[in-house]
Chains A and B, each alone.
Chain A
Amino acid sequence: MASVDAAIHAPLGLLAELTHRCPLGCPYCSNPLALDAPKDELDTASWARVFREAAGLGILQVHLSGGEPASRRDLADIVGSAHEAGLYSNLITSGVGLTGTRLRELADNGLDHVQVSIQDAEPQSADRIAGYDGAFARKREMAAEVVRLGLPLTVNIVVHRANIDRIEEMVALALSLGAHRVEIAHVQYYGWALKNRGALMPSREQAERAMETTGALRKQHHGRIVIDSALPDYYARYPKPCMGGWGRRSLNVTPSGKVLPCHAAEAIPGLTFWSVTEYSLADIWRHSPAFNAFRGTDWMAEPCRSCPKQREDFGGCRCQAFLLTGDARAADPVCHLSPLHDEVERIAAIQTDAFEYRRFRTPVVAP
């Protein structure tokens, strides 16, 4: 254990999933299918303790997420405690459920940045994707309020088959809202998004066109808005360096206090996650079995084991490797060197129509 311990660098970021409650039902939600119940959520004081421990561990930024963090009535206190701990706080919100008054409270309590998601540039389509009538209008109002308060705004655009042909319009919308940064996030297939994969997956042609459009927009808006994006990974040649490497940069605390190396890690069977209700964050970061499971390169099998890129992409995503191959130690099969790479192409070609919206209780669908 000592050798692993010595090599462990301090994490940079903490994703705090304050709640799984959310007014929206986005079919691409990355939350797990089994959502944490409101009664199991960590209380205000526990989050304050977690933030102090995070700062002590060297963490610089906390991302307040969910679900919809505004579903927590104590959000202003939670923001205040992150600020008191010395952390840079980032609110990741749907924009629904945040009034001007509440936003002002958050700003007064030291909130540093707001990221709001939009589902499409067309109101009707946006509301259909979110599964919530009127969401688009409320997001616009809320984004305007963020800018009025002088807080920096990022617009997050989750891209999939239903909106991929309107990237230009969505970036224009982000600019008109006063955002300084836009994230073009192609759907990643975990949790609810995996369940809806057939209805969300764009075609290869659409994905390639989207990458070209994004490149052109980046040039066009240079100096005005920062455009961050990644290739939709089912169509990539090499895998993404998921989380910057397992247990290397960040950790994720679930609403009930479990600490995960990434938000999808519970998809991998056999991993033991420790909770902030039982261990300190420092102990978890260094010694939790789940964090040490895929640290470094010793766990790797071929083709990763002898791959010169193993320290660039860390073998890709462990969750995706498990979900697509059944083996969490396998190379992420989006890598063209994976023997199962062709299977990814085959899966990507499967298309279905209907969304299954993310809700607390999933309707029982007849076989």
Chain B
Amino acid sequence: MTGAAPQAAIPSDAKPRLPRGVRLTHNEAQGGWVLLAPERIFKADAVAVEILKRCTGEATFAAIVDDLAANFKAPRERIETDVGNLLRSLADKRLLEL
């Protein structure tokens, strides 16, 4: 991803995954899901959790969007845009590999 333009669209065959050192975990005392990363902690809302759980390194971006569209009965284009934006912003923070 070196040299990728900041707002570049995510290729449909990209297989997003959380890199080593980044993990999604549930913690009761902290009130829910959190993304743990090098010296940073992010609260993950319900939407982000659904997306991140699918970033296994096996499913393609297209498959993730299809799956979410089927499960949440929302227009595919809207889901593609929302998921794409979240994944891009995480990748820019080095919290996701594409």
Contact = CB atoms under 8 A, between A and B. Distances in A.
A223 B4 contact: yes
Interface string B28-61: 1110001010110100000000000000000000
The DSSP consensus for interface residues of chain B is loop
Nearest to B2: A224
Nearest to B23: A88
Interface of B: 1-4, 6, 19-23, 25, 27-30, 34, 36, 38-39, 41, 91-94
A147 to B, nearest CB: 11
Given A60-B41, A63-B39, A181-B38, A223 B21 contact: no
B61 to A, nearest CB: 17
A252 interface: no
Interface of A: 10, 12-13, 57-58, 60-61, 63, 88, 90, 112-113, 115, 150-152, 154, 180-181, 183, 222-226
Contacts of B21: 112-113, 151-152
Nearest to B88: A223
A222 B25 CA distance: 27
B38 A10 contact: no
A223 B94 CA distance: 7
A154 B20 contact: no
Given A58-B29, A224-B2, A90 B38 contact: yes
A55 to B, nearest CB: 9
B25 to A, nearest CB: 7
Contacts of A223: 1, 4, 6, 91-92
7 contacts: A58-B30, A61-B36, A88-B23, A180-B38, A181-B94, A222-B6, A222-B92
Nearest to A13: B41
Nearest to A12: B41
B87 to A, nearest CB: 12
Contact of B19 (A152, A183, A226): A152
A319 B30 CA distance: 28
B60 to A, nearest CB: 21
A225 B25 CA distance: 24
Contacts of B93: 226
A12 B91 contact: no
A60 B25 contact: yes
B94 A60 contact: no
B92 A60 contact: no
A112 B23 CA distance: 10
A150 B21 CA distance: 9
A224 B4 CA distance: 9
Given A88-B23, A222-B92, A226-B94, A57 B39 contact: no
Which 9 pairs of residues, A with B, have the shortest CB-CB distance? A58-B29, A152-B21, A10-B29, A180-B94, A113-B38, A223-B92, A88-B36, A113-B21, A152-B38
